[in-house]
Amino acid sequence: MSEKKGFIAEVKSETGVNVNRCYQCGKCSAGCALNESMDYPPSVVMRMLQTNSAENVSKVLRSQAIWLCVSCQNCLTRCPMQVDIPQLMDYLRVQALAKKTVNKKSKKIVAFHRAFLDSIKYTGRLYEVGLVAGYKARTFDLLQDLNVAPRMLIKGKLPLLPEMVKGKKQLKKFFR
């Protein structure tokens, strides 16, 4: 297997992560909180990438696993080879977005992240009411949290008006 080309090389140059350092001990998968819900556990994702085959790379970029990773950093903490899997996952997610291969079952996760960034884009700070409205508009998940919101409101946990950051223009160019 060549490190000089293909996806392995791309990952290495973009993130500094060398997927070939993984020797398949499986500690990442053993400690992964989301393992049971993933289609491929982290160590399997690593092995698939190590093959450097276009078919396996495509499977990874279409997987649910990359979106279910919550970046809890347990895998990196326990990895005897210090392979930065959370950073790799960030890269894989951005690639899946760019190649439009986002896993169908993960669309709600992506919708939430997008609604979150939209909210910051317009105000500079997170505006929860706007976030949930944006999320619902993207997912048609209209019933989500209808029972929680009133209690949050009563307890003063849900500001109704957004706060505007004066310098938000400085950040504008980073949103795409």
Partner 1 sequence: MEIGFYPGCSLNGTSSEYAQSTLALAKAFGVTPVEVSDWNCCGATAAHNLNHELAAALPARVLALAQQQGFSEILVPCAACYNRLSVTQHTLSGNEALQSDISEALQMPLSGNLRILNVMQFIEKYIAKEIPQKIVKPLTRKVACYYGCLLVRPHDVLQFDRTEDPQSMDTLMAAIGATPIDWGYKTECCGAGFSVSRTDVVAKLSGKIVQDAVERGAEAIIVACPMCQSNLDMRRPHIDSYLKMKTTIPVMYVTQAIGLAVGLSRKELGLEKLFVTAKHVA
- Kindly identify the residues of this chain, within the stretch 59-118, that bind partner 1 according to CB under 8 A: 68, 70-74, 76-77, 86, 90, 93-94, 97, 108-114, 116-117
Three-state secondary-structure class, residue 112:
helix
Say if residues 135 and 143 touch (Cβ distance below 8 Å): no
Say if residues 48 and 60 touch (Cβ distance below 8 Å): yes
The contacts of residue 155 (CB under 8 Å, 6+ apart) are none
Q: Shortest distance, CB of residue 164 to partner 1, whole angstroms?
A: 10
Give the Å distances, CA to CA, from 42 to 33, 64, 70, 94, 138.
Answer: 11, 11, 12, 17, 29
Q: Does 167 bind partner 1 (CB under 8 A)?
A: yes
- Kindly identify the residues of this chain, within the stretch 7-66, that bind partner 1 according to CB under 8 A: 33-34, 37
Among residues 99, 125, 137, 150, the one that binds partner 1 under rule CB under 8 A: 125
How many residues lie near partner 1 (CB under 8 A)? 53
Among residues 80, 99, 133, 159, the one that binds partner 1 under rule CB under 8 A: 159
For residue 68, give the nearest of 86, 49, 52, 47 by alpha carbon. 86
Residues that bind partner 1 (CB under 8 A): 33-34, 37, 68, 70-74, 76-77, 86, 90, 93-94, 97, 108-114, 116-117, 120, 124-126, 128, 132, 135, 144-145, 148, 151-152, 155-159, 163, 165-168, 170-171, 173-176
